[in-house]
Amino acid sequence: MAYTGTPSPAGPIGSQYCVCKVELSVCGQNLLDRDVTSKSDPFCVLFMEVNGKWVELDRTETAVNNLNPAFSKKFIVDYHFEEVQKLKFALFDQDKSSMQLYEHDFLGEFSCTLGMIVSSKKITRTLLLGNGKPAGKGMITIAAQELSDNRVITLSMAGRKLDKKDLFGKSDPFLEFYKPGDDGKWMLVHRTEVIKYTLDPVWKPFTVPLVSLCDGDVEKLIKVMCYDYDSDGGHDFIGEFQTSVSRMCEAQDASPLELECINPKKQKKKKNYKNSGIIIVKSCKITRDFSFLDYILGGCQLMFTVGIDFTASNGNPRDPSSLHYINPMGTNEYLSAIWAVGQIIQDYDSDKMFPALGFGAQLPPDWKVSHEFAINFNPTNPFCSGVEGIVQAYSACLPHIRFYGPTNFSPIVNHVARFAAQATQQEAATQYFILLIITDGVISDMDETRHAVVQASKLPMSIIIVGVGNADFAAMEFLDGDSRVLRSYTGEEAVRDIVQFVPFRDFRNAPKETLAKAVLAELPQQVVQYFKHQNLPPINSEPA
């Protein structure tokens, strides 16, 4: 995304960094018919690749006698921005009640990444058999639904004078909440805990996504059923009622909402039947919990800039011992770092035009040292097209510059900060800037760099530093404020930690995805933290 004064129009972790849950809906079309006397009874199993092996995450219900199923059970998957998440959807025809998949007939499968589904929102693909051939005319449709509905509802429920169901004591009541499924049947959404030996239970407050409870529609009818718990699983029905979220929201702490719990069979039989007790909505609150994906789907662009260290300590690029030497495989540690980070970030920038800057080199024709130069030698247009464009510009510039010094970071940090400061004038979550600095060592202008980072911490900006080679990177660890707050030489503290430092040597023998995960793990959190701190919702968000 080119740096402009005005934003372009909106267009889309270790567990502690998980930034979003994605709900996947699955439908099948024209599935293979494996049953002799009737149609197949399909169910879908979702697998995720973990350490090179497919691990089952969940499975849907079985759609009886149906070659075009729309499964009401949704898959909920943790979305990790910093990982490539490979998924496999496999369909089977249920033949027995066994949980073992080999006991059921295989109907076909489809594999893709979660990123593919999220960026398209909905995909339809051919189902394949184990040999890679199409499974007849079978197709699968997967939709990543309601990603941007981040509303959560917190309900506080109680009961009064519920029917007594146990012979020798009181009831052990619990509630079940249902919403209408796509197939018109009621679909279980939430079950409360059981409160033992009482007809006047008070359940713990619980919070669920509004999407789960009512598909985000506050007027939609939901059904609440009350049961008396039995350890053998044969729970006794006490009563039920229907309501909506908008009705429940009428409940305030001072004036709870009371709803009659009705047992239809008793109501028919007994003339003077009133109810089977009262269910009380003590309070009902809806709030918004914006995630990284909300900002991305709202049209926020990630503006990626690369800063490359061309100081003399890297060694002559024609010498195989140099960190800038491009080996016969066409790579080096600088290029590996650019690929690892760029390949993930470029999906989040609509025009994929990235400025690539160098520092610490003497430039032709007058051989003056520069600490912020365009590696394509076009200062008015330093943009490269995609990660490939950065790699090409990098390789092309190596023979034309002289490696020199010192290793000054602050000019490039301040360069990107100027554009980030311009973006703040929009007063909207339109752009967030990411500066990747790749360096071989010790910073010469530590005081100025500390000051620049502290100022940048107030802006929509994050800095990723990848240290290549075997130098002492203690100063980089110092900038990465994971263990303590970074201070400027004036004593001013950074308002947030925006630097992530990673030594490349820790990842030399690891799969290339590992570097991306380590480097990008904190980024979604930093984006959300900045915009929340500024009180900026995603561009297209509505009030809760």
Assigned token pair, 405: 């010094």
Write out pLDDT tens, residues 59-102.
Answer: 999 988 999 998 988 899 988 878 778 999 999 999 877 788 88
Q: By 3-state DSSP, what share of the chain in percent is helix, strand and coil, each rounded to 5? A: 25, 35, 45
Q: Collapsing DSSP states into helix, strand and coil, what is residue 239?
A: strand
In a shared domain, residues 443 and 501 = yes
In-domain check, residue 3: no
- Considering 288, 316, 338, which residue would you say is the last residue of a domain? 288
Alpha helices in 398-495 (DSSP H): 410-424, 446-456, 474-479
How buried is 218 (Cβ within 10 angstroms: 0-12 exposed, 13-18 middle, 19+ buried)? middle
pLDDT of residue 145: 58
Supply the Cα-derived Rg of the chain in whole angstroms: 29
- Element containing residue 334 per DSSP (H, E): helix 333-345
In a shared domain, residues 369 and 240 = no
* ∠ Cα 50 51 52 (to 5°): 90
d(CA 146, CA 215): 8
- Element containing residue 516 per DSSP (H, E): helix 512-520
- Considering 87, 113, 147, which residue would you say is the last residue of a domain? 147
In a shared domain, residues 116 and 156 = no
pLDDT of residue 169: 78
In a shared domain, residues 142 and 157 = no
- Element containing residue 471 per DSSP (H, E): none
pLDDT of residue 476: 81
Alpha helices in 151-287 (DSSP H): 210-214, 245-248, 264-269
Q: What is the DSSP string of 340-398?
A: HHHHHHGGG-SS-EEEEEEESEEETTTTEEESSEETTS-TT--EEEHHHHHHHHHHHHG
d(CA 2, CA 12): 18
Write out pLDDT tens, residues 340-350.
Answer: 888 778 767 76
pLDDT of residue 478: 75
- 199 Cβ contact partners less than 8 Å away, ≥ 6 residues apart: 159, 160, 161, 162, 163, 164, 170, 171, 173, 277
For each of the chain's 544 residues, which pLDDT tens digit applies? 333 332 222 222 223 344 477 889 999 999 999 877 788 999 999 999 988 899 999 999 998 899 999 898 889 998 887 877 899 999 999 987 778 888 899 999 999 988 777 766 678 999 999 999 999 999 999 987 545 567 889 999 999 999 988 777 789 999 999 999 877 889 889 999 999 999 999 999 998 889 889 998 999 999 999 999 988 778 999 999 999 999 999 987 778 999 999 999 999 998 899 999 999 999 999 988 788 887 876 778 889 999 999 999 999 999 999 999 999 998 999 999 999 888 778 767 768 899 999 999 999 999 999 999 999 999 999 999 999 999 999 999 999 999 999 999 999 999 999 999 999 998 899 999 999 999 998 889 999 999 999 999 999 999 999 999 988 888 787 777 666 788 898 999 999 999 998 999 999 888 877 888 888 888 988 999 999 889 898 876 666 6
pLDDT of residue 540: 67
In a shared domain, residues 85 and 106 = yes
How buried is 400 (Cβ within 10 angstroms: 0-12 exposed, 13-18 middle, 19+ buried)? exposed
In-domain check, residue 9: no
In a shared domain, residues 137 and 236 = no
pTM of the model: 0.61
Assigned token pair, 119: 């960026």
Hey, which bits of 146-235 come out as E strands?
151-160, 173-180, 186-191, 206-209, 221-228
In-domain check, residue 208: yes
In a shared domain, residues 173 and 248 = yes
In-domain check, residue 12: no
In a shared domain, residues 262 and 310 = no
Return phi, psi of residue 497, to 5°: -85, 115
**b/e per residue 20-32 (b: at least 16 CB within 10 A):** bebbbbbbbeebb
In a shared domain, residues 502 and 437 = yes
Write out pLDDT tens, residues 314-348.
Answer: 999 999 999 999 999 989 999 999 998 887 787 67
In-domain check, residue 2: no
d(CA 40, CA 93): 6
Alpha helices in 160-311 (DSSP H): 210-214, 245-248, 264-269, 292-297
- 356 Cβ contact partners less than 8 Å away, ≥ 6 residues apart: 305, 306, 308, 374, 375, 376, 382, 384, 389, 390, 393, 394
Q: Scan for tokens 């012979």, then name that residue.
A: 167
Q: What is the DSSP string of 19-87?
A: -EEEEEEEEEES-----SSS---EEEEEEEEETTEEEEEEE----TT-SS-B-SSPEEEEE-TTS--EE
Residue 521 has a CB neighbour count (10 Å cut-off) of 19
Q: Describe the strand order of the beta sheet including 402-403 as a list of residue ranges.
A: 368-370, 361-363, 402-403
Domain carrying residue 25: 19-147
469: left (phi over 0), alpha (psi -120 to 50) or beta: left
pLDDT of residue 149: 67
In-domain check, residue 298: yes
In-domain check, residue 306: yes
Q: Are 19 and 293 in contact (CB under 8 A)?
A: yes
CATH number at residue 127: 2.60.40.150
In a shared domain, residues 141 and 156 = no
- Considering 238, 260, 288, which residue would you say is the last residue of a domain? 288
Q: Are 69 and 30 in contact (CB under 8 A)?
A: no
Structural domains in the chain (count): 3
In a shared domain, residues 304 and 430 = yes
In a shared domain, residues 125 and 162 = no
Return phi, psi of residue 52, to 5°: 80, 0
In-domain check, residue 277: yes
